Amino acid sequence: MSALTSARTSAPAARVITLEQMLAVLPTIDLQPAIEAAFVAYSQGRATVPPVGELLFATPPGDAHIKYGYLHGGDTFVIKVATGFQENSIHGLPSYSGVMLVFSARTGMIETVLLDGGHLTNVRTAIAGAVAATYLAPARVDRIAVFGTGVQARMQVEAIGKAVGCRAITVWGRREAALDAYRSDMEAAGFAVVTTLDAGDAAREAQIIVMTTPSTSSLLDVHQVAAGALIIAMGSDTPEKRELTSALVGRADVYVADSVSQCLIRGELHHAISAGTRSAESVVELGHVIADRRRGRTSDAQIVIADLTGVAVQDIAIATAVAQALV
């Protein structure tokens, strides 16, 4: 046996965890505290997160994101690939897919392959919305508005509704058939649902507004938002996407970003900076708000925007938690 063959065969085999295994264990894990701690570590400079790798496709429309990093002092580092192709339903496929790879930070050996098909990304994204609601919502939430009818429109509402104790939803969409399907699904989950094709009707009475679409043109403007509302904007995760007007971004009394550096080139913030309605200096990171709530909302009359573009520390937290739960 050659030295090269011997070296190759001595490397330990990585564990492969299937989506079915993850679905069985996820309900037993309280992920929000871990993701909150990861946001705090990121904002306090205790994480290494390189810029997002990105592939954008025009025909058919789609994108692939590569996010990776590690928490300082941790035993592992994580590389995640997540894809979104909006026309996959034509082929009977989900619009998202992906995989997470967990490596040892001591040896560089791959330890775990999480074949999640993008599900863990969806879960951690929904939990980020719940984190934003926990720390930034007004004291009383009677109605949640959601823009979009896809997977995140469902998962965000479930996570946020649990966080703030609200089961009343108004959902905006472009197609009646999609709205009807959403209403059927969410009513079965115990929510009271109103559907609308009018953005103003969706937002006007809501204390929390969740933006979940892949839109590249603004859907919501200043005059459609009531005083005191929290807007959780998570659909705009590439430079081309946007769901809020620059005027609305500029109007927010408090503007919170999951990552200021990411939001300067993607998310809602960079559009507003280009338009001159907001400055980077007026933005606070979510991790700083979690560590000190006085840096977030200070009045129930304030309009607050949470710009969530998705940070690798969320992937590190959920991948680590799932891998440990399945040891």
pLDDT of 3: 56
**What does the angle CA 139 – CA 143 – CA 144 come to, to the nearest 5 degrees?**
100
**Residue range(s) of every CATH 3.30.1780.10 domain in the chain:** 3-120+314-325
**Residue range(s) of every CATH 3.40.50.720 domain in the chain:** 138-310
207 to 246, 278, 284: CA distances (angstroms): 20, 23, 21
The answer to which of 2-11, 254-263, 288-297 has the lowest mean pLDDT is: 2-11
The average confidence (pLDDT) of the chain is 94
CATH topology of domain 3-120+314-325: ornithine cyclodeaminase, domain 1 (3.30.1780)
How many CB atoms neighbour CB 300 within 10 A?
A: 12
| Contact by Cβ (8 Å): 100, 319 | yes
Residue in 287, 267, 297 with CA at minimum distance from that of residue 65: 267
* DSSP reduced 3-state for 51: coil
| Contact by Cβ (8 Å): 122, 97 | no
Give the span between the Cα atoms of 163 and 132, in whole angstroms. 10
The band of 318, judged by pLDDT with boundaries at 50, 70 and 90, is very high
Higher pLDDT, 2 or 311: 311
122 contact partners, CB below 8 Å, separation of at least 6: 96, 151, 152, 155
Residue in 213, 156, 149, 223 with CA at minimum distance from that of residue 184: 149
Note every long-range contact of 61-68, with CB atoms under 8 Å and residues 24 or more positions apart, other chains counting. 61/85, 61/86, 61/87, 62/86, 62/87, 63/238, 65/237, 65/310, 67/310, 67/311, 67/312, 67/315, 68/312, 68/315
pLDDT greater than 80 at residue 44: yes
89 to 140, 257, 267, 297, 318: CA distances (angstroms): 38, 31, 25, 40, 27
pLDDT of 31: 97
pLDDT of 249: 97
The band of 6, judged by pLDDT with boundaries at 50, 70 and 90, is low
Could you give the percent of the chain with pLDDT greater than 70? 97
| Mean pLDDT, residues 6-31 | 87
Q: Give DSSP secondary structure letters for 216-256.
A: SS--B-GGGS-TT-EEEE-S--STT---B-HHHHHH-SEEE
Kindly state the tokens that stand for 119.
Answer: 């599900």
| Mean pLDDT, residues 223-241 | 93
| Contact by Cβ (8 Å): 69, 47 | yes
- Name residue 268's amino acid: E
- Give the model confidence (pLDDT) of 63-97 as tens digits: 999 999 999 999 999 999 999 998 998 999 998 99
Give the span between the Cα atoms of 302 and 134, in whole angstroms. 16
Higher pLDDT, 3 or 296: 296
- Name residue 224's amino acid: Q
Q: What is the pTM of this model?
A: 0.92
pLDDT of 4: 52
Give the span between the Cα atoms of 255 and 272, in whole angstroms. 12
- Give the model confidence (pLDDT) of 129-159 as tens digits: 999 999 999 999 999 999 999 999 999 999 9
How deeply is 8 buried, as exposed, middle or buried, from its count of CB atoms within 10 A (0-12, 13-18, 19+)? Answer: exposed
| Sign of the four-CA dihedral 13, 69, 316, 41 | positive
pLDDT greater than 70 at residue 11: yes
Domain 138-310 annotated CATH 2.60.40.10 = no
> How many Å from the N-terminal Cα to the C-terminal Cα in the chain?
33
List, in sequence order, every beta strand (DSSP E) within 9-156.
15-18, 47-48, 53-57, 62-71, 76-85, 96-104, 110-115, 144-147
pLDDT of 266: 87
pLDDT of 86: 86
pLDDT greater than 90 at residue 2: no
